[in-house]
Structures are given as C-alpha cells and as structure tokens.
Amino acid sequence: MATEMAAVCYPPTRFHHVHGTNICIDPSRTQATRVESFANGLCFSQEPLEPGQIFLVEIEEKELGWCGHLRVGLTAHDPQSLDVVPEYSLPDLVNMGDTWVFAITRHHNRVTPDESEARVQGFLSEPYLLIEQVRIPRDKLVGRSRPNQYSHILDDLYKMNVLPPTARRSRIGVLYAIRPDGTADMHIIINGEDMGPSARSLPTSRPFYAVIDVFASTKSVRVIQVEYGFLSLQTLCRLVIQKHVVHRLAIDGLNLPPLLKNFCKYE
C-alpha cells in the first residue's frame, strides 16, 4: 500500500484553451476570470482526469448583483471538438449528453447517501479524504478565511470549516471514482468534505474532462495543485504546530521564522 500511495503522481492541472466567450485565462492557465455579463463562463480541464484525480479551484473573486454561483462537473466531450462553447453548463452542455454538472449553493450541497452507505465523520477528524480507493490529504482541499483579531472567536479552522461553499477562498473540486462494476461515480468536494456521489454509474468508455462554469456571482477562480499519497514533510510540521496552539493568532508569538509562521496560518 505504501508503495502504491507514494507512486501516485499526476501532471499539474490547468484550464483548457477552449472556453466561454466571456472568460479570460491567465498565461499560466491556472486562473479563469469572467470579464463581463453573468454567462458564457464555461471552462474545462486541459487534459482528461484520471480516476481519483481531483480538479480543484479556489474562488478568488465574487461579483454582486447576480443570482447563482459556481457550477462544476464532468463531461465526456473533448473541448477541442466543440464547434461552439455553450453559453451555460446547465442546461446547455448537459443537454448535449455525456455531461454531469452540479450547481454549488450556499447551503444543501450534500447528496443524501443510502442508509447502508451513511457514515458520520467529524470535519478533518481524518487527515485524508477517502472515497472508494481514492486517498487524498485534506490539507490542500480546505479553503481558509484570513486570520484577524477575531479569528479565535469566529472560527477554528483546525477543527471545523466555517467558510460557506460560495465564499471567497472556498475550495471546490470534482473527481470520479471507479465502481466495482466498471462504471464511475462523480464526487463534488467542498472544502475537504465529500458531498457524496452527485452522479452515479457514469460510463467510462470515454475520458472525462472537468467542467468549471464561472457563473453569476462567481467571477474568478484559480486552480489549486493537490498533494496525493502521503502528506509532505512541510504539511506534517504545520499539523504538529497547529496541535499546540489555541488559535491561528497565537502562531505569531512562536519563535519561528516568518515564512513558517505564514505557512502555518495559511497566508
């Protein structure tokens, strides 16, 4: 098992050069910004995802005045093959078939599991996200609020996450896991928590591209690269330090290099 976990390695995730007409992709292809209106914000992963590979983005910028939020999912359509990128992921891209998209809301994103599959876990009680045979360290998956003088009162992000799914700095990802029968389930991950299989028994005869629809009040997102297998030594050090402080502001009083302090505070 240790050998298998250490061997998991995926190339960096990027946005595809094919995208909606209102989207601007930065030169690194890791940031997508909708420059006008509320639609035509469709983006895709540059490459098809492997089973268990997550395409993770962080919400960088919001725009007031629109109703609706980020939409994420999977499609078996190669973006290169699209004559025209649809205006919306829902319903336009979904209506083309072989596409599954989930609209993120401020509340009620969790898919109710079957009673036989129900499992209650405290947030971050387990340092790894476990889905079928997929195992991903949670640390990079979790969005963090910026620490301030009220952090010790308003949040304790080492034990629980208080960022709403649609808030700035929230991290949202999509992956698929292979089922015993050879089909796949799509999972939406919000700040380190699996929302459950939002689409079941997807056919795996064609590769899946991630779908990111920078829709309505979500204006800009950035791709986050994820660690797989074992936690890095840097992350393990942060976890040890976090266990010995009351809240993030207490890190400032430790006799540590400034760069390490900032890393421990997720800055």
**Tens of each residue's pLDDT in the chain, 267 residues:** 433 444 468 889 999 999 999 999 999 999 999 999 999 999 999 999 999 999 999 999 999 999 999 999 999 999 999 999 999 999 999 999 999 999 999 887 887 554 334 443 433 457 789 888 888 988 889 887 765 555 444 454 444 446 889 999 999 999 999 999 999 999 999 999 999 999 999 999 999 999 999 999 999 999 999 988 777 787 788 778 877 777 767 788 888 888 888 877 766
pLDDT at residue 69, as a whole number: 97
Count of CB atoms situated within 10 Å of the CB of 3: 6
CA-to-CA distance for 24 and 57, rounded, in angstroms? Answer: 15
CA-to-CA distance for 44 and 162, rounded, in angstroms? Answer: 28
Which of 44, 39, 37 lies closest to 18, judged by CA? 44
pLDDT at residue 256, as a whole number: 87
Count of CB atoms situated within 10 Å of the CB of 26: 12
pLDDT at residue 51, as a whole number: 95
- Collapsing DSSP to helix, strand or coil, 130 comes out as strand
Write the single-letter amino acid at 136.
I
pLDDT at residue 17, as a whole number: 98
**b/e map of 166-192 (b: 16 or more CB within 10 Å)?**
bebebbbbbbbbbeeeeebbbbbbbbb
Helices (H), 54-193: 94-95, 151-154
pLDDT at residue 118, as a whole number: 40
> Cα 136 from chain centroid?
12
